[in-house]
Structure 1
Amino acid sequence: MDEKTTLHRYLRLRRADLLGKLDGLGEYDIRRPLVPTGTNLLGLVKHVASVELGYLGDVFGRPSGLDLPWFAADAEPDADLWVTADETREQVVELHRFSAAHADATIDALALDARGEVPWWPPERRAVTLHQILVHLCVEAARHAGQADILRELVDGTAGDGPDDPNVTRRSAEQWADHRARIEAAARQAARR
């Protein structure tokens, strides 16, 4: 597998991981802010989809044609990180799918050394290649998928990719409570030193 295929594969996996965090949850749970900064599951999906449209569209002269009002000059800060009551889950999921298809078409059409320009970056860093942007987006998507992992665990206790995820140790609720208590005790003991 060549480097472009590898990077593209990882980007697709992280997109799917992020979108999968919505599965089985109601409207409130996918939208509610779970940390002081307001981070929420559906907002993360909206953000990653929006960012991909910019980086794998506009940066390489392949605009999507979509008007994203949350990126307008007069939009409130962080408007891409949450979903208004008027925006539906279906609209955000469709944005995610559209963005992925548009991004995938750009990746398929260009070589890793294809040149682009990121107008919102400092002038000395604006000139980029597809390779740089793919690495950037893999990191971006992974970061937000990780945030979504924690948010989902806060919502309903689901860890990783669900009960069959081989990367999550199988424990009963009681065993998890004991495990957490042991970690808490170690933290308190270390703090007393």
Structure 2
Amino acid sequence: MTKQTQQVPYTGGEKESLRVSLDRHRDAVLWKLEGLDDEQVRRTVLPSGLTLIGLVKHLATVEYGWFCETFGRDFEPLWFDSETEDMALGPDETPEQILAFYGRARAAADTAVEETELDALGTAWHGATVSMRWVLLHMVEETARHAGHADVMRELIDGSTGDHRAA
């Protein structure tokens, strides 16, 4: 049975609405990998060399960074250089490893959001003071942007289209 995409509540609270919006885009990115084999998720179809699984690795990295590191929370140590290797798979990395990494990052981020008030302040990697509200908005933007990349890449790989799994 496939997971249905949640609808952002029409009259939901701010945090709930932001979380559901983020989850919709997170799920769309993962949906774009469904049914593809190892070669397909690693395939470069754009001049930049970006891959579907590389997008997932990047999103895991930024989830840990923005939600956990920014607010002084524990996060998984990275085994790669996040400045230069967060969008590419190393020779010993597997898609399954990256999908599990993304799952752990999402869970840690969700806990951080649940336990942190929207007005709580943290320090971003570049030194700016940011609120949890700003981080949630930023991550909705970041994830939606990459879901769009994934949509185009999937269409180039096998012709599949659609922005979200049908309800």
TM-score range, shorter chain: 0.7 to 0.9
Unaligned runs of 5+ in 2: 1-11
C-alpha distance in structure 2 between counterparts of 1:38 and 1:117, whole Å = 32
Deviations 1:14-71 (A, max 9, x none): 111101111111111101111111111000011001110010001001021x221323
Q: Looking at both structures, which has the greater relative contact order when contacts are Cα pairs under 8 Å and sequence separation is at least 6?
A: 2
Unaligned runs of 5+ in 1: 167-193
Of 15, 30, 43, the match for 1:4: 15
C-alpha distance in structure 2 between counterparts of 1:134 and 1:104, whole Å = 10
**Aligned twin of 1:42:** 53
Q: Does 1:71 align with 2:62?
A: no
% identity of equivalent residues? 38
C-alpha distance in structure 2 between counterparts of 1:50 and 1:86, whole Å = 18
TM-score normalized by the length of structure 1: 0.76
* CA RMSD, 1 decimal: 1.7
TM-score normalized by the length of structure 2: 0.88
Of 104, 107, 122, the match for 1:98: 104
Q: Does 1:84 align with 2:84?
A: no
Deviations 1:118-156 (A, max 9, x none): 03x2x4xx0010000000000000000000000000000
Large movers: runs of 4+ above 6 Å: none
Q: Does 1:32 align with 2:43?
A: yes
**Count of aligned pairs:** 156
